[in-house]
């Protein structure tokens, strides 16, 4: 099992994709490769990533359109665009449309790796404290401190589920995605419903919202 940062690598050039994949694996990243825009959109909407590394010129959906659609769904994963379109106007367009960083092709490998590390540092999704409805979750302490100062102690699994929802507060997760991410040893999505029920009992009915026909998301932060 790989605990390194998880990267969605979006690149349609098979040779370059393979090189980048090996490079990232060698640096300890977990890599999911998407070779076209449709695939990238699907992966980006169904799994949690720590970084997006995206080409622009892609089959099916152009890279910046993929990024825009992910952003419209509330997915704020930091994105680095890696593109042959790299004059200043191209870079400005990429940054304006939701990318955090932009690197032209051809690129220097060490510079690419340094920029990815920098993005991870600036947008760490492994913060120890995550805002949740009504309070703040301390992930290590498995405790929610409510606005009143009262503390609610969670089990490890309750805390894990709430942390996963809380790191992407606007994202809708399918039950299957939550089971895979939080309860990898379970083989029935019902485990997700069970722990949502426990969280609601401890933190209130609206702490986790049901999105009909889709799954769950974190309740509204106030």
SS3 state at 94 = helix
CA dihedral 105, 6, 41, 75 (to 10 degrees): -110
47-55, 90-98, 115-123, 198-206 -> range binding Ca ion (CB under 5 A): 47-55
Output the smallest distance, CB 13 to Ca ion, in A.
5
Output the smallest distance, CB 89 to Ca ion, in A.
19
- Give whichever of 43 and 55 is closer to Ca ion, judged by the CB atom: 55
User: Could you tell me the CA-to-CA distances from 49 to 112, 144, 199, 203 in Å, in that order?
Assistant: 18, 25, 24, 27
9-17, 19-27, 108-116, 156-164 -> range binding Ca ion (CB under 5 A): 9-17
12-20, 44-52, 159-167, 192-200 -> range binding Ca ion (CB under 5 A): 12-20
Tell whether residue 55 is a contact of Ca ion (CB under 5 A). yes
Tell whether residue 100 is a contact of Ca ion (CB under 5 A). no
8-16, 21-29, 42-50, 70-78 -> range binding Ca ion (CB under 5 A): 8-16
Output the smallest distance, CB 116 to Ca ion, in A.
19
Among 8, 12, 29, 168, binds Ca ion (CB under 5 A): 12
Within 10 angstroms of residue 208's Cβ, the number of other Cβ atoms is 24
Output the smallest distance, CB 138 to Ca ion, in A.
43
Output the smallest distance, CB 87 to Ca ion, in A.
17
To 5 degrees, how large is the angle CA 85–CA 51–CA 169?
120
- Beta strands 135-138 and 129-132: pairing type? antiparallel
Which residue, chain included where needed, has tokens 């994202």? 171
Output the smallest distance, CB 16 to Ca ion, in A.
8
Distance, CA of 78 to CA of 217 (rounded, Å): 20
User: Could you tell me the CA-to-CA distances from 218 to 30, 46, 183 in Å, in that order?
Assistant: 25, 16, 17
- Give whichever of 28 and 57 is closer to Ca ion, judged by the CB atom: 57
User: Could you tell me the CA-to-CA distances from 91 to 40, 54, 64, 67, 96 in Å, in that order?
Assistant: 21, 13, 11, 14, 8
- Give whichever of 58 and 177 is closer to Ca ion, judged by the CB atom: 58
Tell whether residue 35 is a contact of Ca ion (CB under 5 A). no
Distance, CA of 78 to CA of 129 (rounded, Å): 19
- Two structure tokens written together for 132: 């949740």
Query: Rule CB under 5 A: which residues touch Ca ion?
Result: 12, 55, 57
């Amino acid at each position: 099992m790989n605990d390194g940062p998880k990267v969605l690598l979006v690149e349609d050039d098979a040779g370059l994709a393979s090189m980048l994949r090996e490079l990232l694996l060698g640096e300890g990243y977990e890599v999911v490769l998407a070779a076209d825009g449709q695939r990238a959109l699907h992966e980006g909407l169904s799994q949690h990533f720590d970084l997006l590394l995206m080409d622009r010129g892609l089959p099916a959906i152009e890279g910046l359109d993929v990024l825009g659609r992910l952003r419209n769904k509330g997915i704020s994963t930091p994105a680095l665009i890696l593109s042959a379109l790299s004059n200043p106007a191209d870079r400005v367009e990429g940054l304006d449309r939701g990318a955090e960083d932009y690197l032209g092709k051809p690129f220097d490998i060490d510079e690419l790796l340094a920029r990815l590390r920098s993005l991870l540092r600036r947008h760490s999704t492994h913060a120890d404290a995550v805002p949740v409805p009504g309070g703040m979750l301390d992930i290590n302490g498995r405790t929610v401190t409510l606005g009143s100062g009262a503390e609610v102690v969670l089990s490890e699994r309750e805390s894990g589920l709430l942390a996963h929802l809380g790191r992407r507060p606007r994202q809708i997760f399918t039950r299957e995605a939550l089971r895979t991410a939080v309860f990898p040893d379970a083989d029935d999505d019902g485990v997700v419903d069970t722990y949502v029920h426990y969280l609601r009992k401890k933190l209130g009915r609206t702490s986790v919202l049901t999105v009909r026909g889709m799954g769950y998301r974190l309740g509204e932060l106030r």
